[in-house]
Amino acid sequence: MEDLRRVKSALISVFDKSGLDKVVNVLRNFNVRIYSTGGTFDYISKLGAEVTSIETLTSYPSILGGRVKTLHPLVFGGILGRRELESDRMEMQEYNIPEIDLVIVDLYPFEKTVAASDIEQEIIEKIDIGGISLIRAAAKNFKDVIIVPSIDLYKELIDVLNKNSGGSLLAERKYFAAQAFNVSSHYDTAIFNYFNRQAAIPVFKQSICESNTLRYGENPHQEGFFFGDLSKNFDQLHGKEISYNNLNDLSAGIDLIREFTEPTVAILKHNNACGLASRNELLEAWKDALAGDPVSAYGGVIVTNGNVDAATAEEMNKLFFEIILAPEYDDDALQILKSKKNRIILKGKSIAPPAYQFKSSLNGVLVQQLDAKTESSLDLNFVTNRKSDEHEISDLLFANKIVKHTKSNAIVLAKNKQLLASGVGQTSRVDALKQAIEKAGTFNFDLAGSVMASDAFFPFADSVEIAHKAGVTAVIQPGGSIRDKDSIDYCNANNVAMAITGFRHFKH
């Protein structure tokens, strides 16, 4: 085959030596000459393999504390020389530049160093220069050279060499080149984002190498992917493959449950809570969360911040649901929940949310800071004559946490730390309120003494009037309408308490 290239020489320079012994053994089997540097040279020598140091090749020592080792024309000429060009071959012969057919690199662990240290000089020294240059050079000359830019590709390299009796085909070299530019671009992005913490250059650069191909996207006719490391969020203990829509619901559920410290259960459908309650015992929280909307709960996603015991699992198992996520499960609880073979059971992990959120929009990307504001009693400015007591304030803050994570326009009705009903994703605030009141009536909730939370201000007094007539006695909202006084006046005339927070929580 014309595009088959036999590997006669290899340059190896790696930070992590894991798995390198297997590669070296294969290279020895095919009589490949090995060049190497520093610690990699020492490691290969200890394996008993014949290896030539780069210093011997270049007649130049490693200098500047190891910052300059491979940056030399005899090295890069051997990698970049085009075998099909006579002029390149003549120059290589003139300057005694050996051909290098395989380059294996594992870069300094820049990202791990940033994660583990805040010492700038330590981080800067983990910016790989020689390695990244070797990767780019070998990838550019993929017609003649194989580049292996990561230890994750060792097995694929070994398979290629064994299949081709110590050589490689053009398509294989081009594949490794693509992998190389993936590694180098990701590495450069990580370095840029580190420096841009202070520089704040207004550009969008993100790189995520971990990928999951999903069964489909939001609908079966759409492709779907997740880029990221799901294992940092949870471990899957049981059930079928997680879908695109499952991940959206889980993301919404995890963001919501993070707001609560008491034992709490949330049931979600299409990213919105259809049931939620906080109680002293998780079993009671489950029962009251389910009571909020047992119809919508069917086929939903359950997220809790408490340990699931057998008694709670028994009650949960009476409902068909797709997913449960909890920080812990008792062994007997797990056995109960696993009785449905497709049910997805996840053990959640504590992970900080990303500081910024982004999504595609038009022909670009929208980026915003995470809405990290969770109101406390100190944020409540009671603008009415009646002020809420401690119990009512607790319900106001409870409702406000839920409305923050509900699709706008949103209204939440709550009492005794139980979600009674919500109006979700309506085009007017009045419609959202009417939806919530009707839903509460469907499940026989008495709204007398309940509280109302709104994700944005009331443009008119009609919402507080409707809510009051339904039984609501206290309202929490961000304020900011030019007609705030109309709503306040109505509340004062009807002994309704109103707290203004100054923080809107739109969610679209």
One DSSP character per residue, 366-379 reads EEEE-------GGG
Other C-beta atoms lying within 10 Å of the C-beta of residue 453: 29
The sign of the dihedral angle between the CA atoms of 159, 163, 164, 169 is: negative
Note whether 302 and 321 are within 8 A (CB).
yes
Q: How far apart are CA 241 and CA 477, in angstroms?
A: 40
Q: How far apart are CA 273 and CA 87, in angstroms?
A: 70
Rounded to a whole number, what is the distance in angstroms from the first to the last CA of the chain? Answer: 57
Q: How far apart are CA 82 and CA 68, in angstroms?
A: 25
One DSSP character per residue, 414-431 reads EETTEEEEEE-S-SSHHH
Other C-beta atoms lying within 10 Å of the C-beta of residue 501: 20
Q: How far apart are CA 235 and CA 222, in angstroms?
A: 26
Give SS3 for 48. Answer: coil
Tokens of 24: 């070296």
User: Catalytic amino acids?
Assistant: 140, 270
Distances (CA, A) of 210 to 112, 128, 225, 227, 229: 15, 21, 11, 6, 6
Minimal CA–CA distance to 418: which of 259, 275, 308?
Answer: 275
Note whether 98 and 78 are within 8 A (CB).
yes
What does DSSP assign to residue 441?
Answer: H
Minimal CA–CA distance to 286: which of 296, 295, 275, 273?
Answer: 275
The sign of the dihedral angle between the CA atoms of 92, 93, 98, 100 is: positive
| H or E segment and range at residue 267 | strand 264-269
Backbone angles phi, psi at 341, to 5 degrees: -65, -30
Residues pairing with 147 in the sheet: 103
What does DSSP assign to residue 81?
Answer: -
One DSSP character per residue, 307-359 reads -B-HHHHHHHTTS--SEEEES-B-HHHHHHHTTSTT-EEEEE---PPPSEEEE
